[in-house]
Amino acid sequence: MQERPWRDFDWPLLAALTLLCVASIVALYSTNAAPGGATEWHQKFWVKQLAWCGIGYVAFFWVARLNFQRVFDAAPYVYGVTILLLIAVLIVGVKINGQRCWIRLGPLGTLQPSEFAKLATILLAARILRPIGADGLTWRQLALLAAVVLLPVGLILRQPDAGTALTFFPPIAVLIFLSGLSWRWVTASAIVGLVLGPLLFVFVIEPRLKQYQRDRINVTWNAIFYPERLQDRQTREGFGYQTLQSMIAVGSGGILGKGFRGGTQSQGGFVPEHHSDFIASVIAEEFGLVGSLSVLALLLFIILHSANVAGRSRERFSMLVLAGYMALLAFHVIINFGMVVGLVPIMGIPLPLLSAGGSSLLMTFVSLGLVANVHGRRFSN
């Protein structure tokens, strides 16, 4: 069947993508009013975001027209390049807030290789899991998959960036499930996880956590079960400051918000990292529940749309790639919104298409280009 590139193009996806980019630039531009001479510094965020959006659209349309067989063939090479970048960042990377996660790119800011490693790992994992026999997954495939995932995770933990490392596991879990894992294994794994999970955390993970990580977990625990403890001075002015200020920003926005540049928390600079990981607090304060739900609805549309395109795909590799990315995107959205309202410990996980950051933005554009690619070829033989 003859392809109809523009008629079959994924226009709804492009529309949702564009609306979220506009929302991001508006929210970032709003932070320009922060006091204390911060205007020039904060202005760079929305300008850079605009520049990265332009680069992202070029990548989106290019990927949307690629032959997917080339994506399959390139998966090991893309993965190899990202591993080299993860090694390079440990040697020559820029250290910010105690983490060495970025490579400087001059006027465009920095490049964060771990963002691209997420997509590269999904591509290679999908390639490994593509040939599944009648008996389902083999031990060789599982061992190879474990090596592919743990290598970038180990390098990212060296930066250290535990939040980003955690994002690798949901998409891989979805890919394994879609590759013929029996319900007996799923049930057994769930039972073992429920029984051993708390013990593993108490005796293995918790003793290795740094003090600030313990503090973040305690703040979330108190926010859910003991909200009165958040009023303790040590919590308000110490490790609970960011979470508490974000919750105040979200609550003060009400239904319709305080208006563009009308938020006291965001304009006063009370919420740290409000241009990146906590951009949702700016939207909630200035545009209220209506603005937050609108953004969430657009993200939910992209997730469900990606799932629908994956389910209708005629080729196993593309189905697995889209399903893996859908899980990654959903995990980012859930964790980020959870951080903003105090239901999840702060992990430094950005909100896709909205948080400032060229690497996350470009990776999302490329990933959604793959969704548009599969959608546009749904009528092709």
Average pLDDT over all residues of the chain: 84
Please name the residues in contact with 230: beta carbons below 8 A apart, sequence gap of 6 or more.
219, 222, 223, 236, 240, 243, 244
Separation between Cα atoms, residue 128 and residue 134, nearest integer Å: 16
Task: Give φ, ψ of 102 to 5 degrees.
Answer: -125, 150
Which comes out higher in pLDDT, residue 266 or 341?
341
Strands 99-104 and 94-96: antiparallel
Q: Residue 187, class by beta-carbon neighbours within 10 Å (0-12 exposed, 13-18 middle, 19+ buried)? A: exposed
Structure confidence at residue 299 (pLDDT): 97
Give the H/E segment covering residue 234: helix 233-237
Contact 367, 355 (CB under 8 A): no
- Does 277 have pLDDT greater than 50? yes
Structure confidence at residue 247 (pLDDT): 87
Asked if the bond preceding 35 is cis, omega within 30° of 0, the reply is no
Token look-up 């009013």 returns 33
Which comes out higher in pLDDT, residue 110 or 230?
110
pTM attached to this predicted model: 0.89
- Does 232 have pLDDT greater than 80? no
Mean pLDDT of 242-249: 85
Query: What is the end-to-end Cα distance of the chain in Å, rounded?
Result: 6
- Does 39 have pLDDT greater than 70? no
Please name the residues in contact with 147: beta carbons below 8 A apart, sequence gap of 6 or more.
none
Cα 161 to the center of its chain, rounded Å: 13
| SS3 at position 351 | coil
Structure confidence at residue 42 (pLDDT): 43
In the chain, what's the furthest Cα-to-Cα distance?
Answer: 68
Phi-psi region of 313 (alpha: psi -120 to 50; beta: other; left: phi over 0): beta
Domain segments of the chain: what residues? 11-181+208-376
Mean pLDDT of 122-141: 81
Mind giving me the DSSP string for 186-215? HHHHHHHHHHHHHHHIIIIIGGGS-HHHHH
Which comes out higher in pLDDT, residue 235 or 130?
130
Q: pLDDT (tens digit, 9 = 90+) per residue, 308-356?
A: 999 888 889 999 999 999 999 999 999 999 999 888 888 889 999 999 8
Which of 34-38, 162-166, 288-292, 341-345 shows the lowest per-residue confidence on average (mean pLDDT)? 34-38
Tokens of 37: 């001479």
Mind giving me the DSSP string for 248-293? HHHHHTTTT-S-TT--HHHHTT-STTTTTTTHHHHHHHHHHHHHHH
Cα 338 to the center of its chain, rounded Å: 13
Mind giving me the DSSP string for 14-69? HHHHHHHHHHHHHHHHHGGG-TTT-HHHHHHHHHHHHHHHHHHHHHHHHHHTS-HH
Contact 356, 25 (CB under 8 A): no
Structure confidence at residue 98 (pLDDT): 76
Cα 328 to the center of its chain, rounded Å: 6
Tokens of 182: 């029996």
Q: What is the CA radius of gyration of the chain?
A: 21
For the chain, count helices (H), then strands (E).
Answer: 15, 3
Phi-psi region of 357 (alpha: psi -120 to 50; beta: other; left: phi over 0): left
Tokens of 81: 């390049």
Tokens of 57: 């659209």
